[in-house]
Structure 1
Amino acid sequence: MKADHYDAFAAGYDAENAGSLLNAWYERPAMLRLAGDVRGRKILDAGCGSGPLSAELRRLGADMTGFDGSPAMIELARRRLGDDVPLTVADLAQPLPYADDAFDDVVASLVLHYLEDWHPPLTELRRVLKPGGRLILSVNHPLVRPFFFPDEDYFAIRQFSEEYEFAGRPGTLTYWHRPLHAMTDAFTAAGFQIASVAEPAPSPDTPAELLPPRLASGERSAFVSFIFFVLEAR
């Protein structure tokens, strides 16, 4: 799926992203926790979408730069972030318009699972990171797809699509399932060392009405949705 596919439902996606359980109360808080103290750090938001993660990281003191393949998403990000955050339309599957060793950290929030081949984008993200810099990323958890479709081959890298409604507007997203070992092999082949793997619970501040019943009752502490990695550039 090309990132400009988002142009058709960018505004609806942005509205959904602002308050949904999975984005606002689960994925974004987890990315911020993994990033930690970002004051003064130069951070590239790879696949920044409409800019909500960049906005939070800037609020915490980071010096942000962002890109996305969707012109409509970049326009929304410009409205959110103003003129002091450099934003570019760029394709993660192509060479990036940044110098070597330009950033202390890269964040890639729910981006890589749209791509079949991870080696070129990971190699580019490694290139623009300073030695010892971090790539903090989230992707679909590899156990979700086989849980709902047990007849599918967990170990096969395969494409699939899902239908959604974003603030009442329909949208189709196309992903690539890959097993955990294919993820970690791609990380190390691109020159990263895995520093952390996280399967977090939703934010403790999540409104109770948004939680699945078994979490709201205290029976369960978390659910499987995304998986998070902190990688260090070697």
Structure 2
Amino acid sequence: MTGAYDPIAAGYTAENDGSLMNAYYERPAMLSLAGDVAGRHILDAGCGAGPLSALLLERGAVVTGIDSSAGMLEHARARLGSSVDLRVVDLADPLPFADDSFDDVVASLVLHYLEDWGPTLAEFRRVLRPGGRLLVSVEHPFAISLMRREAGERVSYFATSLRTEKWEMGGGTAELRFWDRPLHAMTDAFTAAGFRVAVISEPDSAPGAREKFPEDFAGFSGTRFLGFLFFVLNVD
């Protein structure tokens, strides 16, 4: 996965900053689950161009950001300046931090790029302090299973399976690999790594989303949809 986003870094950053799914759904949900972060040391694992890091900073957190894409981190540095320690790190590798370094780890839409969650979750657990939290967002497994079936794929919801997509943004093209897995495989991985599942959330979109994106909500009676799935995991 290292560097996969480099060819589309500029285009993806621009899209992500204002999109329904990211700006009006995923980031507001993560911030709501995080609550009061003032003074907390937070690792933004898979920080991309840093939009969530910036919002955590505004709320008083001390943030460290890591991502496998050097191209995305260039945009993060332009956004965040020297206020955040940013490093190129592949989440499949050991993390370059001491034990008990962080109060929280946020893993925003990144775990679904990994086939095996075990080593990465073990590293998150290692760098979290006692009483720390891991906040996770992933693609909703039910929504992905439905999408793949509607596309004519013969795939079992209960299997962990590879999905490859080609994304074209900002004049660049990237081939991205996603590992889809059922809900029980996610929670089993969390508990096997020593986390306690405190929250599983399927949140509403942010206020104003329906008005800003009326075409996306056509056919929906409200402001909720199956997009991403969110977890708060505690270290006891």
Structure 2 length normalisation: TM-score?
A: 0.93
Supply the AA of the counterpart residue of 1:14: T
**Between the two proteins, what is the percent identity of the paired residues?**
57
Query: Deviations 1:88-111 (Å, cap 9, x if unpaired)?
Result: 111111111111001000101000
Change (3 A) 1:233 1:112: same
Secondary structure of 1:5's match?
A: coil
- For residues 212 and 120 of structure 1, the distance between their equivalents in structure 2, rounded to whole angstroms, comes to 41
CA distance in 2, matches of 1:227, 1:212: 23
Counterpart AA for 2:234: E
* Distance apart, 1:170 and its partner CA: 4.1
Contact kept in structure 2, 1:21 and 1:211, CA below 8 Å: no
Q: CA deviation at 1:167?
A: 4.8
Q: CA deviation at 1:209?
A: 3.7
Change (3 A) 1:152 1:218: closer
Specify the SS of the correspondent of 2:204.
coil
Q: Against the structure 1 CA distance between its residues 110 and 186, is the aligned structure 2 distance closer, same or farther, given a 3 Å change threshold? A: same
Q: Give the letter aligned to residue 20 of structure 2.
A: L
Return the offset for 1:67. Answer: 0.6
- Structure 2 residue aligned with 1:180: 183
Name structure 2 gaps, 5 residues minimum: none
**Is the CA contact (8 Å cut-off) linking 1:47 and 1:68 kept in structure 2?**
yes
* Maintained 8 Å contact 2:57/2:63: yes
> Do the aligned partners of residues 157 and 15 (structure 1) sit closer, same or farther apart at CA in structure 2, a change above 3 Å counting?
same
Q: Equivalences for 1:57-136 in 2 at 5 Å?
A: 57-136=56-135
Residue 47 of structure 1, CA deviation: 0.7
Are 1:53 and 2:52 matched, yes or no?
yes
**Aligned-residue offset at 1:126:** 0.5
Q: Which runs of 5+ in 1 are unaligned?
A: none
1:231 counterpart residue number: 233
Alignment match of 2:164 (pick from 158, 161, 166): 161
Cα contact 1:193–1:233 (8 A) shared by 2 = yes
Task: Give the aligned CA root-mean-square deviation in angstroms.
Answer: 1.6
Indicate if the aligned counterparts of 1:109 and 1:137 stay in contact, CA closer than 8 A. yes
For residues 2 and 23 of structure 2, what CA distance do their matches in structure 1 show? 21
Deviations 1:157-178 (A, max 9, x none): 0000223343565443220000
TM-superposed CA distance for 1:33, in Å, is: 0.5
SS in 1 for 2:234: strand
Report the Cα distance in structure 1 between the residues aligned to 2:224 and 2:171, rounded to whole angstroms: 27
Q: How far apart, in 1, do the equivalents of 2:166 and 2:81 lie?
A: 32
User: Post-superposition shift, 1:149?
Assistant: 2.8
Matched to 2:157, the amino acid is: Y
Q: Is the 8 A contact 1:208 1:216 kept in 2?
A: no
